[in-house]
Chain A
Amino acid sequence: MNGAHETGFFEMKAPFNLLWLQSAGCGGCTMSLLCSGGRELTAALEAVGVRILWHPSLSEESGAEVQRILEQCARGELAVDALCVEGALLRGPRGTGRFHRHAGSTRPMMDWVKEIAQAARYTLAVGSCAAWGGVAAAGENVTDACGLQFEGDQPGGLLGAGWKSRGGLPVINIAGCPCHPDWITETLTALALGVFGQKDLDTLNRPRFFADHLVHHGCTRNEYYEFKASAHKPSDLGCLMENMGCKGTQAHADCNIRLWNGNGSCARGGAPCISCTEPGFEEPGHPFHETPKLAGIPIGLPTDMPKAWFVALAALSKSATPKRVRDNAVADHQVVVPPVKKTGLK
């Protein structure tokens, strides 16, 4: 079982109130969310009981009206079932939080988040910035950015390692840069239906329904991977792992099963997986477009495969590579197509 609940019946406690706050992010997770399926997003959420109290890109209220909503949420006068936070929390400069002061007030955003998280039933980190710090924490992390409950891969962050929400869960880390719209809507739906618990989270508190897969699963470049027929330059059709920096065999996400914007993914777009659902992905210690190697062998091999076996199999499969796969791997379109056999498949 991938963490799905064994008990069959859903409990819809409508309304399940959603408050969405943005801090140091790019808004990309919201933009991704708005690409959710071919449906009317807010109506679809309401159909499973999720009601939007306020969302910065969607709601009518502005200015003082927003300050009032936040105050009511913090005091518990407006029940918040899910607090979604998008963007990293900025503690700098010098612990003041002044790198992100909430517009229209003198208050740092991190203080609002801390306060409302205490009142909310569940708190969700939407995207890798809110989960781990992410891109906002890259370089020397001049803004002292952190995630809600992690700082990179170290538990802690803004709310602290042992923190649990009133609903008894740690911060739910819907990681990704950005995260897939379904990861957000399906987590919210499961929470609203009362069928989401600790066992639905992996060890980094990511929902297991997407984090128990690897980006490699469903990759259309799998035949090239099998034969280690590798791309050498952008637009080559071959596997992106050996030379082009792809981390799909290690990164936890179902990008190539679920697909993006209908039928895409990074690898399908010819781009390496940069493992954007993993803490610390923003500082890999090597250029994103290059695979770091030791004695000609990529360092980042599949996580649970003995290295010696990998090397032995790679050598074997390279020598068994069909000309079609070898030639196509370094071309930007198929130069040799699969042969049609007159005898049919046996």
Chain B
Amino acid sequence: MTRLVVGPFNRVEGDLEVTLEVKDGRIIEAWAGSPLYRGFEQILRGKHPMDALMFAPRICGICSVSQSMAAAAALADAMGLAPAPNGRITRNLAHAVENVADHFTHFYLFFMPDFARAEYTGRSWHARATERFRAVHGSAAGAILPARTAFLSAMATLVGKWPHSLAIQPGGVARALEASEKIRLFALLRDFRRHVETVLFNDALEAVAALDSDAALARWAADKPRGDFGAFLEIAEDLQLDKLGRGVGRFMSYGNYPQEKSQFLRDGVWDGQLHALDAQAIAEDISHAWLEGETRHPAQGVTRPQDEKAAGYTWCKAPRLAGLPMETGALARQVVNGHPLARDLVAGNGKSGGGNVKSRVVARLLEIAVILPEMEQWVQQLAPGEPFCTQGEMPREAAGAGRVEAARGSLGHWITVEGGRIANYQIVSPTTWNFSPRDSGGTPGPLEQALVGTPAGEGNVAVQHVVRSFDPCMVCTVH
């Protein structure tokens, strides 16, 4: 039996190390460690409630709009404020631009380059993967950046800039769009659609979104060359990525993109059946974090660092829903929302199924195909001339919660205001769920469970695939 400490993991956002117990070339136990603590929850105490809008995006450079959205939603909840319809739509658009850009960035810059590694020399696809996906010098690495930049230029119109915009407000956005800007945004979305349809799918987004089973996906991929998604599916088949990184089998989504009466993606929990999400059942266990205190709901949560705690091995808390670890992310969102392909991928149909490396990556690309056409509709719903921001006052005593879906999963902010100041502010991020440590019952977090059984050791990069399949954001994780 050998113990390995693996880190840093590059091409994840932020700092991660995993400790592995390996026997006969396979992981029998894993510990996920977040070695950076910045203290946002301590920083926010005592500040003016609206200052959360400045600090929250700076928790994370890659999901900064998601952090702003959660903060704005928590503030609006505390203020009892509903956003103006135009503001809601504009925020949804900014949020969707970030989430789609993140999926795109993750696939090309973070995930695929591992298949160009020398360890795969000799595989039938290796030369092609190297030409296309090799870090820094692959043909995709360069070519996708201008497309990403052009797509993210929508942020200039929507919220001034990205990352770190102060334009996202509890009542909507600080900038009203003009009719000509609707046209500009629509054209930008169409241009990015063209890029994705050509390079990533070699098919219409609607055709990808309509795939309704793993078998349909396989038929679609076999029909003709399917761009970079096709390249992934070929590699996934050869390396059996559907048997790698099996998750906890429980998926959670807060739901996303609020519409007039509902959310475009519904909230809920899936464990083979759909359950309502009870946000009151969320609690953060800190038994294995370098923190003092006890297990609490985030509305009453505390964050007090204690670096000499013997049982600690990370700065990350362990969020649990009704005592259970949850997998969160694009796969969870699409499974909870009932997409037939996503449901089929986790059902298994006789194959290994569940959350795994393949299904996580497929769900992310599927979500691009589902959301982009919807964004084209949202742009057209904007009504220039009508308000983009409602106004309200923050009571001196108030509490609120804001729950949204970042690209990589469920993000919640909980605020308590006392005497006109922030008395408590707690953040539970997607990777806090996915890469959480053990809880006081000894139950490992989702990544820790997904790594068990994974081949490990010199010359084996399977661990890298499992870790990156979650699209971890470590700066968010501990914050």
Interface residues of A (CB under 8 A from B): 22-32, 34-43, 52, 54-64, 66, 90, 93, 96, 98-105, 135-136, 138-140, 142-143, 145, 177-178, 233-235, 259-272, 274, 287-289, 332-333
A143–B225 Cα distance when bound, in Å, is: 52
B38-A267 in contact (CB<8A): no
B145 touches A34 (CB 8 A): yes
A30-B61, A265-B156 given. 10 additional CB < 8 A pairs?
A31-B62, A35-B148, A35-B149, A59-B11, A101-B36, A140-B43, A261-B161, A265-B160, A265-B161, A266-B167
In-complex Cβ contact of B39 among A29, A38, A139, A272 (8 A): A139
Mark the stretch among B262-270, B329-337, B387-395 that contacts chain A. B387-395
For residue B346, CB closer than 8 A to chain A, the reply is: no
Contact of A28 with B61 at beta-carbon distance under 8 Å, contacts A178-B164, A264-B157 already known: yes
Most buried by B among A34, A39, A177: A34
B137 and A42 form a contact (CB under 8 A):
yes
In the complex, are the beta carbons of B8 and A56 less than 8 A apart? yes
Contacting pair A35 B35 (CB below 8 A): no
User: Within 8 Å CB of A101, what residues of B?
Assistant: 35-36
Do the beta carbons of A266 and B43 come within 8 Å of each other? no
Which residues of chain B have a CB within 8 Å of any CB of chain A?
Answer: 5-11, 13-17, 33, 35-39, 42-48, 50-51, 53-55, 58-62, 64, 105, 109-110, 113-114, 116-117, 134-137, 141-143, 145-146, 148-150, 152-153, 155-167, 169, 171-176, 178, 305, 307, 384-385, 387-389, 391, 464, 475
Interface CB pairs A-B, < 8 A, 30:
A24-B36, A26-B58, A29-B61, A35-B148, A35-B152, A35-B162, A60-B114, A60-B116, A60-B134, A60-B136, A62-B9, A62-B464, A98-B307, A101-B35, A102-B15, A103-B8, A139-B46, A140-B42, A142-B42, A233-B389, A234-B171, A235-B173, A235-B389, A261-B162, A266-B161, A269-B156, A269-B158, A269-B161, A289-B50, A333-B385
Closest residue to A27 on the B side, CB-wise? B61
Residues in A with CB closer than 8 Å to B388 are: 235, 332
Q: Say whether B35 contacts A103, CB under 8 Å.
A: yes
The complex places the Cα of A101 from the Cα of B156 at a distance, in Å, of 36
Pairwise interchain contact A268-B156, C-beta atoms closer than 8 A:
yes
Please give the distance in Å from A276's CB to the nearest CB on chain B.
Answer: 8
Out of A22, A34, A268, which one reaches B160, CB within 8 Å?
Answer: A268
**Which residue on chain A has the smallest CB distance to residue B136?**
A42
Nearest Cβ in chain A — how far from B292, in angstroms? Answer: 13
Q: Are A234 and B389 in contact (CB under 8 A)?
A: yes
User: Cβ of B50 and Cβ of A287 under 8 Å apart?
Assistant: yes
Q: Is the CB of A38 within 8 A of B149?
A: yes
Known contacts: A37-B149, A40-B145. The answer to whether A333 contacts B174 by CB under 8 A is no
A27 touches B62 (CB 8 A): yes
Which A residues touch B55, using CB under 8 A? 135, 138
Residue from the set B35, B117, B174 with the largest chain A CB neighbour count within 10 Å: B174
Chain B's nearest CB lies how many Å from the CB of A206? 18
CB distance from A280 to the nearest CB of B (A): 14
In the complex the two chains form, is B109's CB within 8 Å of A234's CB? no
Q: Which of chain A's residues have a CB closer than 8 A to the CB of B160?
A: 260, 264-271
Q: Which residues of B contact A41 (CB under 8 A)?
A: 142, 145
Which A residues touch B8, using CB under 8 A? 56, 62-63, 66, 102-104
Bound-state CA distance A218–B175 (Å) is 18
In the complex, A36 Cα to B55 Cα: how many Å?
24
A330 to B362: give the CA distance in the assembly, Å: 47
Question: Are B167 and A269 in contact (CB-based, < 8 A)?
Answer: yes
Residues of chain B within 8 A of A234, CB atoms compared: 169, 171-174, 389, 391
**Within 8 Å CB of A26, what residues of B?**
58-61, 64, 163, 475
Q: Which residues of B contact A36 (CB under 8 A)?
A: 145, 149
CA distance A32 to B61 in the complex (A): 8
Residue of A nearest to B476 (CB): A26
* CB-contact partner of A274 in B62, B166, B475, under 8 A: B166
Asked if A263 and B16 sit within 8 Å, CB to CB, the answer is no
Inter-chain CA distance A199–B156, complex, in Å, is 33
Bound CA span A116–B111, Å = 29
What 9 A-B pairs come out closest when comparing CB atoms? A269-B160, A28-B61, A264-B156, A104-B7, A270-B174, A103-B7, A40-B142, A271-B166, A270-B175
CA distance A273 to B423 in the complex (A): 26
Q: How far apart are the CA atoms of A14 and B255 in the complex, in Å?
A: 50
Q: Is the CB of A102 within 8 A of B35?
A: yes
Most buried by A among B9, B145, B176, B305: B145
Contact status A62-B58, CB under 8 Å: no
Q: How far is the CA of A73 from the CA of B131 in the complex (A)?
A: 28
**Complex-state Cα separation, A139 to B307, whole angstroms:** 20
Q: Cβ of B142: which chain A residues have Cβ within 8 Å of it?
A: 40-43
In-complex Cβ contact of B61 among A62, A136, A178 (8 A): A178
Chain A residues in 8 Å Cβ range of B163: 26, 28, 31-32, 178
Contacts of B150 in A (CB 8 A): 38, 262
* Chain A residue at minimal CB-CB distance from B60: A26
Select one of B36, B44, B152 contacting A99, CB under 8 A: B36
Whether B60 contacts A27 by the Cβ 8 Å rule is: yes
B14: chain A residues within 8 A (beta carbon): 22, 27
A23 CB to closest chain B CB, in angstroms?
8
Complex Cα spacing A57 to B111, Å: 11
Chain A residues with CB under 8 Å of B15's CB are 22, 100, 102-103
| Inter-chain contact B152/A261, CB cutoff 8 Å | yes
Q: Are A103 and B136 in contact (CB under 8 A)?
A: no
Q: Evaluate contact between A58 and B109: CB separation under 8 angstroms.
A: yes
Beta-carbon contact of B54 and A233 below 8 Å = no
Residues of B within 8 Å of A61, CB to CB, are 10
CB distance from B180 to the nearest CB of A (A): 12
CB-CB under 8 A from B38, the residues of chain A are 24, 90, 99, 136, 143, 145
Residues on the A chain within 8 Å of B5, using CB: 104
**Which residue of A has the minimal Cβ distance to B153?**
A262
Which of A63, A139, A259 contacts B6 (CB under 8 A)? A63
Cβ of B312 to closest chain A Cβ, rounded Å: 11
Chain B residues contacting A263 (CB-CB under 8 Å) are 153, 156-157
Is the pair B10, A268 in contact by a Cβ cutoff of 8 Å?
no
Say which residue of B9, B47, B113, B475 sits within 8 Å of A25 (CB atoms): B475
Q: Are B167 and A270 in contact (CB under 8 A)?
A: yes
The answer to whether A34 and B148 have CB atoms under 8 Å apart is yes
Shortest CB-to-CB span from A273 to chain B, Å, is 9
CA distance A96 to B166 in the complex (A): 35
Which residue of B is nearest A181, CB measured? Answer: B149
Q: Is the CB–CB distance between A287 and B475 below 8 Å?
A: no
Residue in B45, B156, B305 with the greatest tally of chain A CB atoms within 10 Å: B156
Closest Cβ–Cβ distance, residue B78 to chain A (whole Å): 15
Chain A nearest Cβ from B87, distance in angstroms = 8
Inter-chain contacts of A62 with B (CB < 8 A): 6, 8-11, 464
- Bound together, the chains give a CA A263 to CA B146 distance in angstroms of 15
B465 to chain A, nearest CB (A): 11
Of listed A42, A96, A145, residue having the most chain B CB within 10 A? A42
Give the complex CA separation of A328 and B475 in angstroms.
Answer: 41
Q: Are B10 and A28 in contact (CB under 8 A)?
A: no
User: B455 to nearest A CB, angstroms?
Assistant: 15
Residues of B near A40 (CB, < 8 A) are: 142-143, 145-146
The minimal Cβ–Cβ distance linking B471 to chain A, given in whole angstroms, is: 13
Contact between chains at B162 and A100 (CB < 8 Å): no
Cα A145 to Cα B116 in complex, Å, equals 38
